[in-house]
Amino acid sequence: MFDVILKCFTKLPSWHSIGLVIVAYVIYYFIQVVKRPILACSDGAFKQFLYSNIPTLEMKYWPTFWCFESRAQTVFASIIRSKNIPNVKYRREILTLSDGGEVALDWMEENCDEESPCIIILPGLTGESQAEYIKCLVYAANNVGLRVVVFNNRGLGGLTLKTPRLYCASNCEDLSEVVRHVSDIVPRKKLGAAGISMGGLILGNYLARKKDEARDHLAAAKIISVPWDVHKGTASIEKPILNNLLGRHLANSLCKTLSRCDIFKDTDVDMERIKMCKTIKEFDALFTSKQFGYAHVDDYYSDATLHNKLDNICVPLLCLSAADDPFQPLDAIPIKAAERSTHVAIVVTARGGHIGFLEGWWPSSKEQYMGRLFAEYFTNALLEKTEEFQKIIRDLYAAFVNKHHLPSSSKQQTEFSF
């Protein structure tokens, strides 16, 4: 039977064959690709707030018709944004940290005033303030009247290292200093934070480990395309062939970042061996884990991973992940944990790749799915007029206190924190 069908198909004129392929492609796109996102969140006021105030959550996500495969989304998103989004004119501030290190804080404040809310943005693995995905978010925020400050990690953003230390996914001490510094400038209840990819790991670990400090300074947070389980994430990016090519590109970027840091040349860091790394895990085994005192790279990854820390977070956190993210398999997204947590909501789209989320026939505009969701969330969390979100924050923390059986002093604190 199959042979008969095949013979009939091969006898069709070539344009008929092309037409059948196009029809099949269209059918597949509408049935398997275009879907409404899943929202994993515990029932209650936060979930209701998200559905009531973020229209994008109620709509189907329409990935770019000719570019919905995960690796294609990841690569073309970077290329298209870099071509279509102009560089941002930031005001640069150099912040000296407690150990003498320096980080660059790039402020985007056009069309804003001193009372405007602000979002701290943490780029990915080797990203900085002019990275295309950062510019996408910066313009999305600025278009709705939100200030932005991009936190460039040590050794990035054009700064040279003042101390022999870079950064890693598990360490949030630098972020802690940045948050405290920015909160001295931004009006109370008007500060948010967003992390992308590894920046999401740093932010997530900050929220989980320094929960009281985070709650004192941040009203809302968001993470995008975070590798929830770092063990599974690194294994996924090493799969042949396309994933591995993406991983090699990132490993090469890490090696280039380190090679620009002259301060390591007179240390015991084996630069020549590190330059030969072909995977992120190789780099982390030879450099990152050792620099931050881990006995083994797997110890570092266990400490950096975020999927098992959601219960410790007490700042409203909205997360965006794609089910086809090549840096993170679907089964590693902590959907069940989000449904049990008090403060975490995870939006999962069927497609989108890693920091992709392209949509439209030709995704040339500054506003894309990722930026629109970002702007809608922070607009309603930080610019609200009715104090609805502040009431939700108090109610969520009361639930957090009861769930974790915290002392009564913590319950009293919920009444005065905002």
Tokens 């278009």 sit at which residue?
143
SS3 243: helix
Residues 164 and 268 sit within 8 Å (Cβ to Cβ): no
Q: Label residue 9 exposed, middle or buried (CB < 10 Å: 0-12, 13-18, 19+).
A: exposed
- Angle (nearest 5°) at CA 309 between 307 and 311: 115
Contacts of 249 (CB under 8 A, 6+ apart): none
Count of beta carbons in the 10 Å neighbourhood of residue 388: 15
Return the beta strands (E) in 197-330 as ranges. Answer: 220-224, 317-322
CA distance 159 to 121: 18
Contacts of 393 (CB under 8 A, 6+ apart): 219, 316, 417, 418
Residues 175 and 205 sit within 8 Å (Cβ to Cβ): no
Alpha helices in 160-197 (DSSP H): 173-183
CA distance 234 to 125: 13
Tokens 């102009």 sit at which residue?
86
For the chain, the distance separating the N- and C-terminal CA atoms, rounded to the nearest angstrom, is 71
Active site residues: 197, 325, 354
